[in-house]
Amino acid sequence: MKWSSSAGCNLTANGVASSALRQVYGVDFSGAAQAGKKIWLAQGVIEGETLSIEACYRGADLPGSSVGRDRCLAALRHFISGAGASAFGLDFPFGLPAQLLIESRWEDFVLSFADRYTGPKFFREKCRTGAGSKELKRVTDEKSRTPFSPYNIRLYRQTYFGIHDLLVPLVQEGLACILPMQPAAPGRPWVMEICPASTLKGEGLNGRYKGNRQEHYAARARILEELERRAPLSVPASLRLTILDDREGDALDSVVAAVAIWRTLRAESLTVGDNAAYTLEGYVYL
Indicate the pLDDT class of residue 275, thresholds 50, 70 and 90.
confident
Inform me whether the pLDDT recorded for 1 exceeds 80. Answer: no
Q: What is the pLDDT of residue 269?
A: 65
pLDDT in tens, 111-145: 999 999 999 999 999 999 999 999 999 999 999 99
The mean-pLDDT minimum among 8-17, 79-88, 220-229, 274-283 falls in 8-17
Q: What is the pLDDT of residue 193?
A: 98
List, in order of start, the domains of the chain with CATH numbers: 8-280 (3.30.420)
Structure pTM? 0.92
Q: What is the pLDDT of residue 16?
A: 40
Tell me, letter by letter, the H, E, C secondary structure of the chain.
CCCCCCCEEEEEECCEEEEECCEEEEEECCCCCCHHHHCEEEEEEEECCEEEEEEEEEHHHCCCCCCCHHHHHHHHHHHHHCCCCEEEEECCCCCCCHHHCCCCCHHHHHHCHHHHCCCHHHHHHHHHHHCCCCCCCCHHHHHHCCCCCCCCCCCHHHHHHHHHHHHHHHHHCCCCEECCCCCCCCCCCEEEEECHHHHHHHCCCCCCCCCCCHHHHHHHHHHHHHHHHHCCEECCHHHHHHHHHCCCCHHHHHHHHHHHHHHHHHCCCCCCCCCHHHHHHCCEEC
Inform me whether the pLDDT recorded for 52 exceeds 80. Answer: yes
pLDDT in tens, 199-235: 999 999 988 999 999 999 999 999 999 999 999 999 9
